[in-house]
Structure 1
Amino acid sequence: MATGRTLPHVIVFANEKGGTGKSTTAVHVAIALQARGSRVAAFDLDHRQRTMTRYFENRVATEKRSGRDLPTPRFAAHDGESLPRFSEALEQLSRDMDFLVIDTPGRDDRFGRMAATRADTLVTPMNDSFVDFDLIGQVDPDTYKVTRPSFYAELIWDARKAKAKSDGVAMDWVVLRNRLQHIEARNMRRVSEALGQLAKRVGFRIIPGLGERVIYRELFPKGLTMIDSRDFGDMGLAHVAARQELREMMAALALPEPALPLFA
């Protein structure tokens, strides 16, 4: 019997290499969606680092200390072991939500793979280096031309096929280029060209992400994001630039919500 229940749009942040700004980006996306009026839940699958969970816990603590109302998603963390707990958490977090944001570990992980098969939007953050590019594809060392997709790209390809088979919905795979401004120009161009070649072969979109800015690390202890400008006093140029990066990234993700202002 049909219940008429609408499932949330699932956004999975996945990269088997650490240090790409994956958790920071996932937190900013979740809070940006919450701030614009969407109902958002977040699920942290990295039971070792728990960066997303700690970020939200810091945010809740700041809210209690300051008495301010900070838009915060419903959130939970997985233990990394229990399949029943994984399934139960997914069910509870999906209930009455518009979006479910899932942060996966920066390594090969059973539950991360399972989450990928449920993604409507799968986001793979990467820095502009061939060390990070190697996760999704291999290049000729002399010409820098793409020679073949990587094992990880093949995993995502299989996840997309499984998603399409299970519910008839196509997965949008997005490669998010973080920290662009600190990369040497020639290397950036070569990585960009290789990404373009591989995108045509395996079908992902490429969008700009968040820069390498001290402000993102400074906001973590209070659980604040670039949306919470009223809570960190005077804004410098770095704050303004970071807020613009976030706006552009959210627009490029093209998530299925009305184009409402993210923040004042």
Structure 2
Amino acid sequence: MIMQTVGLFDRLELKKTSGDSITLSANLKFLPVNEQNLVYQAIAAIKEKYALKGGVEAYLEKRIPIAAGMAGGSSNCAAALRGMNELFDLGIGESGLCEIGASLGADVPYCVIGGTALAEGIGEKLTRLPAIPDCCILIAKPGISVSTKAVYENLDVPGLASHPDIDGMVSAIENQDLSGITGRMENVLETVTVPRHPVIDEIKSFLLEQGAENALMSGSGPTVFGIFASEDKARTALANLKSFDDVKQAYVVPPVNRES
């Protein structure tokens, strides 16, 4: 699949403490702040691998929608790996961080490198691609959450009627052809999530009516994104989306390159 970083982010703060414990807190009370959290796991993995002495205190401020198919947890994990690398001046290269990240989650290596990339295998085989053409992305999350594990467990791969044209998408990106990119947008995970949550299709249709070049579910869902050729169109659509009662979080963001 093709993966793309967008300008919506959480904030993670790390600092050294006395003792040897890991302490994690967050701005959302329902978030686990123990070994179940990928930030905690990333810190623990680095401490163990490099036999680091001293404790670490971490604070996570969440803005990326949770259980939304946007790799928010994976990006937090990647940020923790990068943060630990800097905090303890370990000098781990990007490939080393990706290797550790792959042991924590399939999307973590991509979140380490960011930008526009082709992900193969289970997500650990990454090929950087040129930045996509200028555009604006409207992100809309309905008030439901989806289990990525459950979606993949129920995906009928042999029964899929079609598969995304990844080679064509890569060519369109290399040729800076926005219509070629949006015309090839497809997500096979919709075959699982959409029948269970028809609101996803309703939001996609709404964004298309508002002038999106195309709209698609992000990852395992339920978040939907629409790609707009201009920021004005995207922001008009965002304003009109307020009448859509099922949408609980919505943002207009740019695509972000790894150099940004």
Specify which structure has the higher proportion of helix: 1
TM-score (norm 1): 0.27
Specify which structure has the higher proportion of strand: 2
